[in-house]
Amino acid sequence: MLINVAETVVADALRGMAAAHPGLTVDVENRVIVRRDAPVAGKVALVSGGGSGHEPLHGGFVGPGMLSAACPGEVFTSPVPDQMLRAAAAVDSGAGVLFVVKNYTGDVLNFDMAAEMAEDEGIQVAKVLVNDDVAVTDSLYTAGRRGTGATLFVEKIAGAAADEGQPLERVESIARQVNESSRSFGVALSACTTPAKGSPTFDLPPGELELGIGIHGEPGRERRPMMTSGEIADFAVNAVLEDLGPSNPVLLLVNGMGATPLLELYGFNAEVHRVLAERGVAVARTLVGNYVTSLDMAGASVTLCQIDEELLRLWDAPVDTPGLRWGV
């Protein structure tokens, strides 16, 4: 691994992030990443966070048009409430703060505690839970569905609404609409390796894949011998559509898990578009790349979000973050 020692991986990454992105204020000691112009007067602030190892989620989505702040935990470990409170206090302008929380037990408990602490300090807080993964109902880290690729859609679209000056109740409502309109399904071609363990986190023999994998390496629905890109697209898209049943055009995220090159992801995207066309689903926008990753896992996930004109307008709004940038 390209590291010094496992114990300093997150701190080293944050120091490097600070050096690369002067538009961010990175507090390495307290593990908080804040857009440099925060707090913005009259603007609802968006705060998210989670374990490190999923980059660019969440720190790479801090900036105009998306998050106001992010709290990175240790690798695959929830940040703590004090981080979340510090982030909320740093970005609150008096218009309120929306916590965007992926549905993992540690994240849910700690963000709930942070919301109570923030409200004790006079900060108005709302929360939205992202639980878009259709692969399994419960897993090693969750009660209910896991939060995966739809987190990007929630943070981008709700972030645009907040930047327009919409009130907290409306930003929260939009975030919930995006989550409820989104579904995801992931596939692993290899296991990931955490710095602390130094070896694969689970056993996936060569020539096999895991259908429905989680972003921490949680088990999916089943293992099969290696399939073609087209066969994987058929399985993943059908799993999403069986649950979502979209009637409107969709946003499509073809997301890499960290170790799959763009050459393969674009080929997989072509197959996903083929399946959607066969199913009569119109795609309004497509995003392809590594956005919600799992360290060095090879594989991909598919996320669809059923949209209307308002959500599409907010998706197209300018965004300027390390991990996502257009219209600026």
Helices (H), 35-184: 81-91, 105-120, 150-163, 168-180
Hey, how many other C-beta atoms are within 10 angstroms of the C-beta on 42? 10
Strand partners, 71: 49
273 given a catalytic annotation:
no
Strand partners, 301: 186, 255
CA separation for the pair 261, 299 (Å, rounded): 10
Is the Cβ–Cβ distance between 252 and 276 less than 8 Å? yes
For the chain, the helix, strand and coil percentages under 3-state DSSP, each to the nearest 5: 35, 25, 40
Kindly name the residue from 21, 58, 216, 273 that is annotated as catalytic.
216
58 given a catalytic annotation:
no
**Sequence-ordered list of residues with C-beta below 8 angstroms from that of 8, at least 6 positions apart, any chain:** none
Kindly name the residue from 21, 54, 58, 273 that is annotated as catalytic.
54
Hey, how many other C-beta atoms are within 10 angstroms of the C-beta on 301? 29
CA separation for the pair 63, 66 (Å, rounded): 6
Catalytic sites, residue numbers: 54, 216
